[in-house]
Amino acid sequence: MPLSEDNASVSKNQLWIGWIASILPTLFLLMDGVMKLAKPKFVVDATVELGYPESVIVGLGVVLTLCTILYAIPRTSVLGAILLTGYLGGAVATHVRLGHPLFSHILVPVYLGILLWGGLYLRDTRLRALIPFNSQIAFEASNKMRWAGYILGALPVLMLLFSGVLKLVKPPALVEGFAHLGYPISTALGIGILEITCTIIYLIPRTAVLGAILVAAYMGGAITTHLRIGEPFILQFLLGVLAWGGLYLRDPRLRALLPLKS
């Protein structure tokens, strides 16, 4: 992977640490994707043990491999990181549903996500200007684009806030819904707090990009949950797209990174 001229102001130490941090999860995820495409017996057995039908393995392998390739290409690395964040969010949700240990199972996808974004953060000063805090609020976008961005972002914000509050209140219908999705009701409070926290971080202009990353991870978990039981997940996918689409229209600096780095 060649070094980009965009990184001229990044020190050599930061640049190489960034590449190493990026390469490690890239190799791991690429191997995982290829193994899902090959479908050896131990992969099939592991997937079924996690509660997924064998029929989804190849599709997951295709998605994971393509997302990893996008991340490995410098000009599409940020887009790849967003997509992989959603995929890793699905892995977190799977371990939460099964009640696996926190540090050795649930947080492993989080570790990978930190390496993916940390590598980009060290390599590209433009991303550092957006995460975790915007160095300045960009108003170069036209009024129409800015308002269109706010409108696009409003739907995922309202949906997540409403969903989070419901999980805090825990009405009977929610208890039934959790049982249907395979989650213990004891996880409702934590998930509700997570939804509200992600939404608040997204709503604050100076932390909006960090919030969008967290929303992508959460929506990945929601998509995986519905995929496992054979239900449509188009709504969850669209909410993630709208969250990022709103930021894309509002901030020209993000448009310089997505989908192709200028």
Model confidence pLDDT, tens digit, residues 199-232: 999 999 899 999 999 999 999 999 999 999 999 9
Structure tokens belonging to residue 88: 């890793």
Instruction: Output phi, psi for 73, to 5 deg.
Output: -85, 120
Phi-psi region for residue 88, left (φ > 0), alpha (ψ -120 to 50) or beta? Answer: alpha
Average pLDDT over residues 135-151: 77
**pLDDT value at residue 4:** 45
Secondary structure letter of residue 2 according to DSSP: P
Query: In this predicted structure, what is the pLDDT of residue 5?
Result: 42
pLDDT in tens, 53-107: 999 999 999 999 999 999 999 999 999 999 999 999 999 999 999 999 999 999 9
Q: How would residue 233 be classed by pLDDT, with cut points 50, 70 and 90?
A: very high
pLDDT at 259 over 50: yes
2 — pLDDT class (breaks 50, 70, 90): very low
Residue 135's pLDDT band, with cuts at 50, 70 and 90, is: low
Residue pointed to by tokens 């939804």: 195
Report d(CA 100, CA 146) in Å as an integer: 43
pLDDT band at 132 (very low <50, low <70, confident <90, very high): confident
Identify the CA nearest to 18 among candidates 128, 122, 132.
122
User: How much is the average pLDDT of 235-249?
Assistant: 97
- DSSP-assigned letters across all residues of 48-92: HHTT--GGGHHHHHHHHHHHHHHHHSGGGHHHHHHHHHHHHHHHH
Tens digit of each residue's pLDDT (9 = 90 or more) over 167-201 = 999 999 999 999 999 999 999 999 999 999 999 99
Q: What is the pLDDT of residues 18-43, one digit of tens each?
A: 999 999 999 999 999 999 999 999 99
| pLDDT band per the 50, 70, 90 thresholds, residue 162 | very high
**In the prediction, which pLDDT does 208 show?**
94
φ/ψ (deg, to 5) at 134: -60, 130
pTM value is 0.93
Of 94, 65, 70, 66, nearest in space to 81 by CA: 70
Whether 237 has a pLDDT exceeding 90, the answer reads yes
Angle between helices 143-169 and 234-250 (to 10 degrees): 140
Q: What is the mean pLDDT of the chain?
A: 92
**CA-CA distances (angstroms) from residue 214 to 14, 169, 219, 260?**
24, 23, 9, 21
Highest mean pLDDT, choosing among 3-7, 153-157, 250-254: 153-157
Q: Please state the rounded mean pLDDT for residues 111-128.
A: 95
Asked if omega into 132 is within 30° of 0 (cis), the reply is: yes
Q: In angstroms, what CA-CA distances link 228 with 88, 139, 149, 160, 163?
A: 15, 42, 32, 21, 20
